[in-house]
């Protein structure tokens, strides 16, 4: 089956917050909408093509501290997926090979080693 995941660069129309300051409230709104719109879906491609998912990852590196803060409070596979999508090879995890607990622990360990490279908003 062909992977239908669309690259987030193609979705500039969803970047209403892109040129503004990011806040926890902005991220909370997007994450809440994402959860509401995808909670009953089982098709990963539909989940990954949700406009809120795409908007979140379109922020790139500047959203990593906010996503990591959320991840510290909620062990979420899709937060990990968002973080991995933004960081690409910088975060050495295999989404399909590890359990959520293993992914979570690897993300937290990576964050402890690398958080000084990121500006905390």
**pLDDT tens-digit readout, 29-41:** 999 999 999 999 9
pLDDT band at 13 (very low <50, low <70, confident <90, very high): very low
| Residue 11 included in any domain | no
Do the domain assignments include residue 2?
Answer: no
pTM: 0.78
In a domain, 90, yes or no: yes
Using an 8 Å Cβ cutoff, are 58 and 15 in contact?
yes
What domain count does the chain have? 1
Read off the tokens for 22.
């990011």
Report yes or no on 15 lying in a domain: no
Least confident stretch, 20-34, 42-56, 58-72, 97-111: 20-34
Q: Classify residue 104: in a domain, yes or no.
A: yes
Under the banding of pLDDT at 50, 70 and 90, the label for residue 95 is confident
pLDDT, one tens digit per residue, over 45-67 is: 899 899 999 999 999 988 999 99
Q: Which domain holds residue 101?
A: 23-115
> Does residue 13 belong to any structural domain of this protein?
no
User: Does residue 9 belong to any structural domain of this protein?
Assistant: no
pLDDT at site 18: 47
Instruction: Collect contacts of 74-80 with beta carbons under 8 A, ≥24 apart.
Output: 75/100, 75/101, 75/104, 77/103, 78/34, 78/38, 78/47, 78/53, 79/31, 80/104, 80/107
Q: How far are the Cα atoms of 23, 39, 42, 47, 80 from residue 94, in angstroms, in the given order?
A: 29, 23, 20, 18, 11
Place 4 in a pLDDT band, splitting at 50, 70 and 90.
Answer: very low
pLDDT of residue 6: 39
Instruction: Give me the pLDDT at residue 120, please.
Output: 60
14 assigned to some structural domain: no
């Amino acid at each position: 089956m062909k992977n239908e995941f669309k690259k987030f660069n193609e979705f500039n129309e969803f970047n209403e917050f892109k040129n503004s300051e990011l806040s926890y409230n902005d991220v909370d709104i997007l994450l809440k909408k994402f959860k509401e719109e995808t909670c009953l879906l089982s098709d990963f491609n539909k989940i990954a093509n949700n406009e809120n998912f795409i908007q979140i990852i379109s922020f790139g590196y500047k959203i990593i501290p906010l996503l990591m803060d959320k991840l510290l409070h909620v062990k979420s596979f899709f937060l990990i997926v968002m973080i991995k999508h933004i960081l690409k090879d910088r975060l050495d995890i295999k989404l399909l090979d590890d359990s959520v607990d293993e992914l979570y622990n690897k993300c937290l360990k990576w964050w402890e080693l690398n958080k000084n490279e990121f500006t905390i908003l």
